[in-house]
A = this chain, B = another copy of it.
Amino acid sequence: MEKQKRFFLTEKEIPTEWYNIVADMKNKPLPMINPQTKQPITVEEMTGLFNRACSEQELNQTDAWIEIPEEVRDLYKSYRSTPLVRAYGLEKALDTPAHIYFKNESVSPVGSHKLNSALAQAYYCKKEGVTNITTETGAGQWGAALSYAAKAFGLELAVFMVKVSYNQKPYRRSIMQTFGAQVIASPSMSTKAGRKIITDAPNYQGSLGTAISEAVELAMQTPNCKYVLGSVLNHVTLHQTVIGLEAEKQMAMAGEYPDMVIACFGGGSNFGGLSFPFMRHNLLDGKKTEFIAAEPSSCPKLTRGVFQYDFGDEAGYTPMIPMFTLGHNFAPAHIHAGGLRYHGAGSIVSQLIKDGMMHGEDIPQLESFQAAELFARTEGIIPAPESAHAIAATIRAAKQCREAGQSKTILFNLSGHGLIDMTAYDQYLAGDLTNYVLPDEVIKENVSTLEKLV
């Protein structure tokens, strides 16, 4: 009964630097390619779309530690450190000898980890004199975070929200509007990319890839405007490492070190954010922690995609990224974990998979909601459908511990809460959710178009 449940850091212990894992990787990720020049993209080229600070961070392969600006740390203080929590309730329900911990990023004011990068990117844009920014959002977690960050730094923001989520999750749209952002359902008629898709497929419900195309196009056509991305790219994951750096100190407070680190996987930022500070010790100190990226069975780029150069968006506006991908024109099923409906993985994670440093695990939708329900009833928190994938993978591992009579220490990322995703829970409780496993033929057909890219 006297066991400690939650671990916090003081404000002084909040990290002052982010961790750039690329500096410690023996095999660096392949470079991103400028599709015009077919050459590795440069910082100058990136600044056409992104702010300079993030462009430099994106291509930085030498500095392992990058300072968190004081203005960003000051806003981090309004919700960080987030608690590291021992999931005693879940352990008991599973009757497992495993020790289960989760990093609770859902306590951020907007309900997810996304604020960690949103504040950083908005800060850099403001500092560089940018006045307008654009972005995309899937389930709306990223859009909500950036809406608050934009307001905090006095920027105007336009958010392209994937249409299926716009309709499934109207509350997230309202949250963004309450913070003062403009929200557009994607595909929209506001951009060339959107108009083309609406014309070709009038009922298409959108994807992150399409929404990115629209946000990029609008940014390029708007004066003094930059595009801001919520995942996939290196600098976004860099900002998220504040999660793992805190967790490292908090696990030490609990007197433990994780044997397994688990996070859900969309573009990779919450996964990398929690994992990379621990993976550092695998790279440098001979630790043997296992890293698992939990992805939906309906969008299995890590477990069943191909490693190829591909575009980050549907229309092909972005640089080409060396990624595990299902093809940039892949249209994911309308699962409720909107933040995981993305065709590719970032270049760092893709390289780490090739190097055997981590692996993917695919989770069917029903299993993710069963895990979410058990977690809600034992720990009191209704998880985001995205985070539920990490919980499901954790439960699998904890059950294996029980069967093997083995006590492992498992750490997973509760990247967000699901209070805005109750429509999904309604459907689950009503028995209306189904599993969808992507057929091999669809993957083959999609990736067959990639050969000609590079």
Contacts and interface: CB of A to CB of B under 8 A. Distances in A.
A426 B172 CA distance: 11
A422 B78 contact: no
Interface stretch (A211-219, A373-381, A390-398, A437-445): A373-381
A95 interface: no
Contacts of A5: 11, 74, 77-78
Contacts of A180: 377
A174 B174 CA distance: 19
Interface of A is mostly: helix
A357 B77 CA distance: 36
B178 A78 contact: no
Contact of A171 (B8, B74, B419): B419
A419 B175 contact: yes
A426 B4 CA distance: 41
B429 A376 contact: no
Given A78-B5, A429-B177, A422 B171 contact: yes
Interface in A167-184: 170-171, 174-175, 177-180
Interface stretch (A37-45, A106-114, A127-135, A291-299): A106-114
Interface in A404-421: 419-420
B380 A422 contact: no
A146 interface: no
Interface in A4-21: 4-6, 8, 11
B78 A175 contact: no
A321 interface: no
A81 to B, nearest CB: 9
B4 A11 contact: yes
A74 B380 CA distance: 13
Interface in A147-202: 148, 151-152, 170-171, 174-175, 177-180
Contacts of A324: none
A425 interface: yes
Centre residue among A4, A107, A380 by max chain B CB count within 10 A: A380
A179 B376 CA distance: 7
A85 interface: yes
Contacts of A454: none
A141 B170 CA distance: 20
A432 interface: no
Contact of A373 (B107, B171, B178): B178
A382 interface: yes
Centre residue among A111, A373, A379, A422 by max chain B CB count within 10 A: A422
Interface string A202-223: 0000000000000000000000
A421 to B, nearest CB: 9
A254 to B, nearest CB: 12
Contacts of A4: 11, 77
A451 interface: no
A70 interface: yes
Contact of A148 (B8, B109, B170, B380): B380
Contacts of A284: none
B74 A85 contact: no
Nearest to A430: B177
A178 B174 CA distance: 23
B422 A170 contact: yes
A429 B423 CA distance: 23
Contacts of A380: 78-79, 109-110, 115, 148, 152
A6 B83 CA distance: 13
Contact of A70 (B1, B109, B170, B376): B1
Contact of A429 (B78, B115, B174, B419): B174
A65 to B, nearest CB: 21
30 contacts: A4-B11, A5-B11, A5-B78, A8-B8, A78-B85, A78-B379, A79-B380, A89-B152, A109-B379, A109-B380, A109-B382, A115-B380, A148-B377, A148-B380, A151-B377, A170-B426, A171-B422, A171-B423, A174-B425, A174-B429, A175-B425, A177-B425, A177-B426, A177-B429, A178-B429, A179-B376, A180-B377, A419-B419, A419-B420, A420-B422
